[in-house]
Amino acid sequence: AGRLPLMAGNWKMNLNHLEAIAHTQKLAFALADKDYDAVEVAVLPPFTDLRSVQTLVDGDKLKIKYGAQDISAQDSGAYTGEISGSMLAKLKCTYVAVGHSERRQYHAETDELCNAKVKAAFRHGLTPILCVGEGLDVRKAGDQVSYTLAQLDGGLKDVPAEQAETIVIAYEPVWAIGTGEVATPEDAQEVCGAIRGRLAELYSQELADKVRIQYGGSVKSGNVAAIMAQPDVDGALVGGAALDAEEFVKIVRFRD
């Protein structure tokens, strides 16, 4: 429905600031010969690499966007080790991931905290990529849709429509993350379609039709096209395969 696909590379805790420069140069070079108006490309480096990436892509014609992997729910103050939305905005980040399953798992992030982070991102003009998705037990019980929609409801609580219409949702089934086990295109579509349906219930069909919903979990150049062919999948959040610049470029060029 005219949604611009968003292919985003989540570097997780990989690549130091010098490696980030080399990697981003490779991406810029490989994408330079193409007009990428039809696909939006973004990278989510560690905080310590953001300045390096900004220096390379600031004001370029390549339209490689970037953002952070997390954000503090607070705006400033005595929160040792946290990074605020205003700091990310100052570095001209476009996106910020919120509630990635690794944050939920290793840092005990709740839906309530994710909701506060979504609001913090919007306060600072950043676009949240809200990550949702079920673990293996939930999938085995067949409860993936209700589980994921509950995370969606929690993350969007009291978020007004004018903000919600710009959010990106990433459906990432935890059992498919970094495991090499990819969801089938039908699995991805089932939940992504349900997410769009819930957005229509929470807001409106017009709004739901605007929101981009990514799939994430062991996306590679070999499986991306089939996943992207699903009607409610509008992009991919790519982890492991995004660390190889050549492979990530192939994923971005899934239509070629």
Which residues does residue 131 pair with via DSSP β-bridges, in sequence order?
170
Tokens of 65: 């966007």
Q: Smallest gap, in angstroms, from Cβ of residue 174 to ligand 2PG?
A: 9
Q: Smallest gap, in angstroms, from Cβ of residue 59 to ligand 2PG?
A: 27
Residue 22, Cβ density class (10 Å: 0-12 exposed, 13-18 middle, ≥19 buried): exposed
- For the chain, the farthest-separated pair of C-alpha atoms sits apart, in whole angstroms, at 49
Which position among 40, 102, 109, 172 bears the catalytic label?
A: 172
220 and 242 Cβ atoms separated by less than 8 Å: no
Tokens of 138: 């939930």
Active site residue 100: yes
How far apart CA 219 and CA 3 sit, in angstroms, is 20
DSSP H or E stretch at residue 198: helix 185-202
DSSP state of 110: -
User: Which residues bind to ligand 2PG, rule: CB under 6 A?
Assistant: 10, 100, 172, 177-178, 216-219, 237-241
Candidates 153, 99, 154, 96; CA nearest to 123 is: 96
- Output 208 or 251, the one with its CB closest to ligand 2PG: 251
Active site residue 172: yes
- Output 40 or 207, the one with its CB closest to ligand 2PG: 40
Candidates 128, 217, 131, 126; CA nearest to 175 is: 217
Q: Smallest gap, in angstroms, from Cβ of residue 90 to ligand 2PG?
A: 25
Q: Smallest gap, in angstroms, from Cβ of residue 213 to ligand 2PG?
A: 14
- Output 211 or 236, the one with its CB closest to ligand 2PG: 236
- State the amino acid at position 255 in one-letter form: R
Q: Smallest gap, in angstroms, from Cβ of residue 55 to ligand 2PG?
A: 24
Which position among 100, 102, 109, 134 bears the catalytic label?
A: 100
What residues act catalytically?
Answer: 100, 172
